[in-house]
Structure 1
Amino acid sequence: MDNQAFEMHGENIQSSSKGKEWPNKEERKGSWSLMKTFLVCLLACVITTAIGVLVLSLVYVNNPIFMKETDVKDDGASSPKPDEKNVDIRFQFMNHLGKSKVHVYPGGEIQWARFRKDANEYQSDEEMEFGKSINNHRSKMTFGTLRIKSKGLRAPHWHFNANEHGYLLQGTAWIGVIGADDSVVTTYNVTAGQVVFFPRNTVHWVKNVGSEDCVFLLFFTTHEELQTLDVDDAFFSTPEDIAARALKPQGGVNFIRTFKKQKEDQAINLPSNLDQLVQNATYVQSPDNLVWQYFYNLKGSAEYPFPGGIFQWARYRINNTGLNETEKIFSESLNKHENTLTLATLRIFSNGLGQPHFHFNANEMGYVISGCRQAGVILSGVTTNFNIGIGDVIFFAVGMQHYIKSLCDEDLFFILAYGTGNQLETLRMNDYFHATADHILAQLFFKEQAEFKKFPKAAKKTGK
C-alpha cells in the first residue's frame, strides 16, 4: 500500500537538497571500503615513519660520525670534536726528543723532531702536536740528531728540499762537499763546537775519524718531510746499462753487475770487514777560501755577553761587521744561498734569564745540551710556560714573544737556529718598554707618569 504521506515528505527532502539524490545501499558500502583502505594506509605510513625516526635516532646517538659540533664556548671557539684529543698547548713549542723513535743503522743512529704526513708515524700525540705546529707556522725548520760510530760513515747524499746546518757536539769528523762544478771537492776536519753547512742539492758525506762516537745536532730548512737521496740508492736505482755508460768502468755492464745492494739501509754505513775493504785513507784539508763556505769555528768565535749569559754566533752580518777574513767567507755564503739559517750557542748562567723578546724576521728552534730551564711563550690570548731539560727541542714562531730562564745550579747551554740568512732582527721587552713615551705608558697602565722613571734603562748590548 502506498504511503502518500511518506511520498510527500520525501519530495520535500529532495526539494530541500536541490535535486541531489541520496546514494543507495551498495554505493554507501563501496565508499566505506575505500575509507577503510585509506585509513589503513595512513596508519601504516605513520607506523613506518615512527620506526624510521627511532632507528635514525639510535644510529645518531651511537655513531660519532653523525654528530655535529653545535656547542660554542664563551670565547667563540668551537668545542673539540668527540674523536679529538686535548693535548697540552706546550707541546706546540716543545718536543721530548728522547722519547722519539730511534732509527738504527749499521754505523749509527738518527732521531727526529719533524713533521710527518702520515700521522701513524708519530710516537705520541704530543710529538704530533709539535710536528703540526712547525708545519702550520711554515717554519722552514726540522731538527735531528745524528750519531756515527767510530769509523762509521754517513753515506754521501743530498737533500732535495732543504739546506743543512750542523753543530758537532762530540767527536771528530772528516767532511766532504761536492759543489756544482764537479772539479771542486771541498774536504775538511771538524771537531766539537764547530759548525758545518751543506746547501740544498749539494752532495756531502761525514766520516767519523775519532775513537768516540760523533754526535751532530742538525737543522734542516724545511717544515715538510725531508727529501734525501743517498748515492748508493741512486746507483742501484739506475739501470745497469745506463750506469755502465755513465761511469765507463773496466768490464762495462758486467762490472756494474758485481755490485750487490745490501738488505739493510746503509744511510750510516760501517761494514764488518772495513779493514779488508780500505787499505789507504787520507784526510786532506782544502784551502780556507773553500772550507769556510761550509764550515764555521763557532766555539772559537767572539763572545757576546749580556746580563745573565753569553752568545756565540755563526751568522751573516751586514757589511761583515766584527768578522775576520775567514768568517766573512761563511757570512757571505749564508747570505748567498736561499733559506739558510743563523746558528748560535747560548749559555745562561745559573738562575739567569734570557729576557722576553721576539724576532721580526725568523722562527727559532733550539736543543738543550745541558742544564734545565723554564721557557715561556706569550701569544695573542695565549700564555704558557713549561720546564725543559737535556735533549728537548723548543720552537718559537716569528713574532712570538718568549723568554728562557735557568732553573739549575749549573749553567744552561743549548744550540739555537734562526730561520734567516740575513742579519737577525730582535726586539726585547726592556727595549720596547723604554722606547714607549712615559705619558703613553701612564695612560695605558693607569699609573702616574713619574712612576715610569723607576724602570732603569739598560746599557746597549752587542749580542742577540
Structure 2
Amino acid sequence: MDNQAFEMHGESVQSSSKGEEWPKKEERKGSWSLMKVFLVCLLACIITTTIGVLALSLVYVKNTAFMKETGVTDDGAASPKPDEKSVDIKYQFLNHLGKSKVHNYPGGEIQWARFRKNVNEYQSDEEMEFGKSINKHGSKMTFGTLRIKSKGLRAPHWHFNANEHGYLLQGTAWIGVIGADDSVVTTYNVTAGQVIFFPRNTVHWVKNVGSEDCVFLLFFTTHEELQTLDVDDAFFSTPEDIAARALKPQGGVNFIRTFKKQVEDQAINLPPNLNELVQNATYVQSPDKLVWQYFYNLKGSAKYPFPGGIFQWARYRINGTGLNETEKIFSESLNKHENTLTLATLRIFSNGLGQPHFHFNANEMGYVISGCGQAGVILSGVTANFNIGIGDVIFFPVGTQHYIKSLCDEDLLLILAYNTGNQLETLRMNDYFHGTADHILAQLFWKEQAEFKKFPTPAKKSGK
C-alpha cells in the first residue's frame, strides 16, 4: 500500500523461534516515513522557538531604548538620560560672552547673549542654557556688544519688539533718532560713560566720529529673538516704482535703479571709498529738551555710596529727588514708554560686597566691565555660586536672592539693567532679617532670642 498513514498503523514486527526477521521493504519504507515526519516537526519547533526568542529580544531592546530616551528606569523612577550632557546649573545665570560667535561686518562687529529659536545657532550647551533661562523666566532682556570702527556707521534701523538701552564704554559717537508722526529728528553726541535710549520702532543710527573704536554695551527689552529692520534692507525690498513715488527723486524710477545692494550685510557700514562718497559731514546737537529724552549722562550723575561700593543710576524717580531739570526729562521719558529699563553702574571696591538682596518688580542683567568677583543666586530649590570676570553676562530672575562680591585687588565694575521703567523696588538681607521679630527668628533657628540683638540695625541707604 502506498498510503503512508495506513502503513504507519498497519506495521508490525513478526517474531519466531528462529529470531527476528529483517523487515520487509514496505515496513522499512513506513519506518523511514515516520522518521521524516518526526524530523520535520522537530525542525518546525526549533524554528518557531528561535523566532519567538528573537521577537522577545527585539521588544526588550526597543523597550529599553524607550526607557533610556524618556529617562525612566525599570521601577518607574525618573533618571538622567545616559547620553545627555550635564550642564552646570550656573549657566542659567552666567554667559561667557567672549566665547560667543562674533558677527563681523565691514564697519565693526556684534556679539550676543540672547535666546535663539533655532538651537543650532548656539555655540555651546552652556550658551543655550543661558538663552533658554532668560526666555523661560520672561526676563524681557537681551544683551549684546557693538563695536564700531572709526568712521563706521551702524546703519539706520528700528526694532519691532524691543526698546534699546545702551552704555558707551569707549569712544565718541553721533546719534540720530527719528520719532513717530511728526518725524522730529533728534541728534546728539555721546562719550564714554554715557547712556543712550531708543524707544521701540524709532529709526536710529550710530556713527563713530572719533579716532578709536566705539564700544557699546546694549540691552534690549525682549527675551524672544530680536526683530530688526535696516533702512537699506527696507529700501531694496520695496518695488522700484513704489519707492520712486514715495521719495520723488529727480529722474524718478530710473534714479532709484541706480542704487545697488551690497553683496554682504552692511549692518555696520564702512565703504572703502567713504572719503569719495562723503564730502561734508556735520554732527549737529539738538536742543536739550529733545536730546534728554534719549540720552543720560550717567558718569556725571549723582553717586550713591553703600558700605561696599558706589551706584550711579539712569532711572525713573517718582519724586525726581536728586535729579536736575534735564535728568527729569530722561526720567519721565523712561516712564512714558512701555517696557523700558533702569540702568546703573555698580562699582564694588576690592574685596567689597553687594550684599544678598532681591527685587520685587524686575529681572536683573549685568555685564562685567572690569575686575573679577563672585556671584550667587538662590531660587526655589536652586542655588548657584560662581566666579565672574571681564566680559561675563549675569542674570538674576525677579524675586531671586542674589549677591555680588569683589575678589580682585582692583574694583569690580559692572553695568546693570533692570526691566522696569518704574522705580526699582529692592529688599536687602539685613533689612528683612532685622525686620523679622526676634522671637520669630529664635523659633526658626532654634537659637535664644537675646542672641539676635547681636545683629546691628541696618543704616538707611540711598543706593540699591
TM-aligned CA distance change 1:61 to 1:75, over 3 Å: closer
Ranges in structure 1 where 5+ consecutive residues have no aligned partner:
none
Cα distance in 1 for partners of 2:211, 2:312 equals 28
- Residue-by-residue CA offset, 1:382-406 (whole Å, 9 max, x unaligned): 2221111000000000011111100
How far did 1:18 drift? 46
Distance change >3 Å, CA 61–CA 300, structure 1 → 2:
same
Is residue 373–residue 389 contact of structure 1 (8 Å, CA) maintained in 2?
yes
Moved more, 211-220 or 10-19: 10-19
1:422: Cα distance to partner?
0.6
Residue 282 of structure 2: aligned partner: 282
Between the two proteins, what is the percent identity of the paired residues?
91
Relative to structure 1, the CA distance from residue 77 to residue 391 in structure 2 (aligned partners, 3 Å threshold; closer, same or farther) is farther
**SS state at 2:35 partner:** helix
| 8 Å Cα contact 2:11-2:30 kept in structure 1 | no
The Cα shift of 1:6 comes to 25
Matched, 1:181 2:177: no
**Larger CA deviation: 440-449 vs 72-81:** 72-81
Deviations 1:421-451 (A, max 9, x none): 1110111100000000000000000011000
Work out whether residues 70 and 81 of structure 2, in 8 Å CA contact, stay in contact via their aligned partners in 1: no
CA distance in structure 1 between the aligned counterparts of 2:429 and 2:223, rounded to whole angstroms: 29
Post-superposition shift, 1:320?
A: 1.8
Per the alignment, do residues 103 and 26 of structure 1 end up closer, same or farther by CA in structure 2, a change over 3 Å counting?
Answer: same
Q: Cα distance 1:26–1:142, how it changes in 2: closer, same or farther (>3 A)?
A: farther
Post-superposition Cα deviations, 1:205-236, rounded to whole Å, max 9, x if no partner, equal 00000000000000001111111000000000
Aligned CA distance change for structure 1 residues 374 and 25 (closer, same or farther; 3 Å) = same
Distance 1:318 1:4, change over 3 A: closer
Q: How far apart are 1:378 and its partner, in Å?
A: 1.3
Deviates more, 1:54-63 or 1:269-278: 54-63
Partners of 1:171 and 1:6 lie apart in 2 by: 111
Check whether the contact 1:60–1:66 (CA below 8 A) recurs between aligned residues.
Answer: no
Segments of structure 2 that go 5 or more residues without pairing to the other structure are none
The DSSP-based 3-state class of the residue aligned with 1:398 is coil
Q: CA deviation at 1:202?
A: 0.6
Q: Distance in 1 between matches of 2:5 and 2:182?
A: 131
Q: 1:440 to 1:258 in 2, by over 3 A?
A: same
Are the counterparts in 2 of residues 358 and 402 from structure 1 also a CA contact under 8 Å?
yes
- Larger mean Cα displacement after TM superposition, 48-57 or 231-240: 48-57
TM-score, scaled relative to structure 1: 0.88
- Separation in 1, partners of 2:84, 2:172: 46
Cα shift readout 1:279-299 (whole Å, capped 9, x = no counterpart): 111111111111111000000
Q: Deviations over 1:338-378 (max 9, x none)?
A: 11100000000000000001111100000000000000111
1:72 positional shift: 6.8
Structure 2 contact 353–403 (Cα < 8 Å) conserved: yes
Residue 461 of structure 1 deviates from its aligned partner by 0.4
Moved more, 115-124 or 45-54: 45-54
In the alignment, the residues of structure 1 paired with residue 3 and residue 180 of structure 2 have an alpha-carbon distance, to the nearest angstrom, of 127
Shift of 1:321: 2.4
Aligned partners of 1:64 and 1:82 also within 8 Å: no
For the residues of structure 2 that align with 1:426 and 1:59, how far apart are their CA atoms?
Answer: 58
Deviates more, 1:332-341 or 1:63-72: 63-72
| Contact 2:176–2:185 (CA under 8 A) maintained in structure 1 | yes
Size of the alignment, in residue pairs?
Answer: 464
Tell me, in whole angstroms, the C-alpha distance in 2 between the residues paired with 1:73 and 1:298. 57
Distance change (3 Å), C-alpha of 1:75 and 1:150: farther
Deviations 1:134-157 (A, max 9, x none): 111111110000000000000000
Aligned-partner Cα distance in 1 for 2:8–2:139? 105
Structure 2 Cα separation of the partners of residues 3 and 274 of structure 1: 107
Q: CA deviation at 1:80?
A: 2.2
1:376/1:402 contact within 8 Å kept: yes
Deviations 1:93-131, CA, capped at 9 Å, x for gaps: 100000111000000000000111111111111111111
Stretch of structure 1 that moved more, 130-139 or 38-47: 38-47
Contact map agreement 2:8 2:30 (CA 8 A) in 1: no
Contact 1:151 1:209 in 2 (8 A): yes
Calculate the TM-score normalised by the size of structure 2.
0.88
CA distance in 1: counterparts of 2:109 and 2:4, whole angstroms: 121
CA distance in 1, matches of 2:2, 2:289: 140
Report the CA distance shift for 1:8/1:296 in structure 2 as closer, same or farther (over 3 A).
closer
Kept in 1, the 8 Å contact 2:240–2:257? The answer is yes
Q: CA deviation at 1:14?
A: 31
Aligned equivalents of 2:116, 2:8: Cα separation in 1: 100
Q: What is the Cα deviation at residue 57 of structure 1?
A: 3.0
Q: Deviations over 1:278-331 (max 9, x none)?
A: 111111111111111100000000000000100000001112222111111111
Specify whether residues 99 and 76 from structure 1 end up closer, same or farther in structure 2 by C-alpha distance, changes over 3 A only: farther
Tell me: CA distance 1:249–1:427, structure 2 relative to 1, closer, same or farther (3 Å).
same
- Contact 1:167–1:196 (Cα < 8 Å) also in 2: yes
